Amino acid sequence: MSKPSHLAPKVRATLTDVAAHAGVSVGTASKALSGTGRMRPETRQRVLDAVRALDFRPNQQAQSLHSGRSWTVGLMTTDGIGRFSTPVLLGAEDALGAGKISVLLCDTRGDAIREQHHLRNLMDRRVDGIIVTGRRTDPRPPLSGIHDGVPVVYALSPSMDPEDISVVSDDAQGCRLAIEHLLAIGRSRIAHVTGPGHHAAAQDRARYTRTLLDEASLELSTGRVHFGDWSEAWGRRAAEAVLRAAPDTDAFFCGNDQIARGVTDTLRERAVRVPEEIAVVGYDNWDTMALAARPPLTTIDVDLTEIGRVAALRLLAAIDENPQPGGVQVPCRLVVRESA
């Protein structure tokens, strides 16, 4: 069986081919392409015409040696490529691709030895910069072993060093959107069910929630935050506990969509009408979870793609020697569906 014609090998034109086609020396062709050296405009035009005719593309490796830039950026995820890092990667890849920069993917899986291995490799490949991302919003130690002049941007998981460039979600504003929405629809007995207390995401959202209720002269319906884990099973159990402790609860604000979905499942089984009797707001806007819930979840979209995009733009600015150090907070959006 013969291979179809679209798989036929293409022979790449070389600079020698271009020079021969234009009737000039290789040296002249090279100068015409780099814009250096003196020559008649017609000569330069003949070379450029030959480049087009032969679809000549200069070897990027050779170009890199010349320009000192590799037009390559490292994208390092610290804890696997999962639901959180994927949209960040996509946003970054999108912004970088538009600038014709290639992305070298490294996954360190939270392992310090893997991180050092990847980092040495990225340095050896002379990347122009690095974006670091991870699932957790807890601040992480800055990368060590970066060569001078190679900028690093931290996305979603900020650096512990406040002088580093870190692009994160604005959790304070996200919580404000959620609580203000619940207050606007007349709720005043609000419970907060969230993930593990040792995760910054859970701790921060709980603190903001308390502060916002305090501003409205309200308290949590059960008098405390319900820390647990990020699962539906925890949401189901916590809903039972909240209804036992504070039967007059009229809203749940949950630390993520899985918890919120678990809460709605418990309410559904107890024949509590959502949102008429009890409203539920999630966090993340993970569509698979939010749309499959009954009813579909009102939730806070943390705009992970935008975090990736902003991180890439900051990195490009830093590569162009226009760094804007410090933290950037990307705003959240309230997505209103049926649960609140």
Strand 152-155 to strand 165-169: parallel, antiparallel, or no bridges (unpaired)? parallel
User: Whose Cβ is closer to a second copy: residue 12's or residue 224's?
Assistant: 12
CA 320/CA 284 separation, integer angstroms: 33
Give the shortest CB-38-to-a second copy separation in angstroms.
29
Does residue 7 touch a second copy according to CB under 8 A? yes
CA 277/CA 294 separation, integer angstroms: 14
Give the shortest CB-121-to-a second copy separation in angstroms.
6
Q: What is the total count of residues that contact a second copy (CB under 8 A)? A: 61
Q: Which of 1, 113, 184, 271 binds a second copy (CB under 8 A)?
A: 1
User: Whose Cβ is closer to a second copy: residue 292's or residue 336's?
Assistant: 292
CA 327/CA 82 separation, integer angstroms: 24
Give the shortest CB-105-to-a second copy separation in angstroms.
4
Kindly write out the interface string for residues 52-91 of this chain, putting x where it contacts a second copy by CB under 8 A and - elsewhere. -----x-xxxx-xx----x-x--x----xxx---x--xx-
Of the listed pieces 10-18, 23-31, 208-216, 328-336, which binds a second copy according to CB under 8 A? Answer: 10-18
3 state SS of 326:
strand
Residue 97: Cβ within 10 Å count: 12
For residue 72, the cross-strand partners are: 102
3 state SS of 252:
strand
Q: Scanning residues 223 to 242, which ones bind a second copy (CB under 8 A)?
A: 231-233
Give the shortest CB-325-to-a second copy separation in angstroms.
10
Q: Scanning residues 147 to 186, which ones bind a second copy (CB under 8 A)?
A: 147-149, 161-163
CB 128 within 8 A of CB 319: yes
DSSP state at residue 320? T
CA 77/CA 107 separation, integer angstroms: 5
Q: Could you give phi then psi for residue 234, rounded to 5 degrees?
A: -65, -40
Does residue 121 touch a second copy according to CB under 8 A? yes
For residue 252, give Cα distances in angstroms to 99, 188, 224, 231, 286.
44, 11, 13, 15, 18
Residues that bind a second copy (CB under 8 A): 1, 3-4, 6-7, 9-12, 57, 59-62, 64-65, 70, 72, 75, 80-82, 86, 89-90, 93-94, 97, 100, 102-107, 114, 117-118, 120-121, 123-126, 142, 144-149, 161-163, 231-233, 258, 262, 288, 292
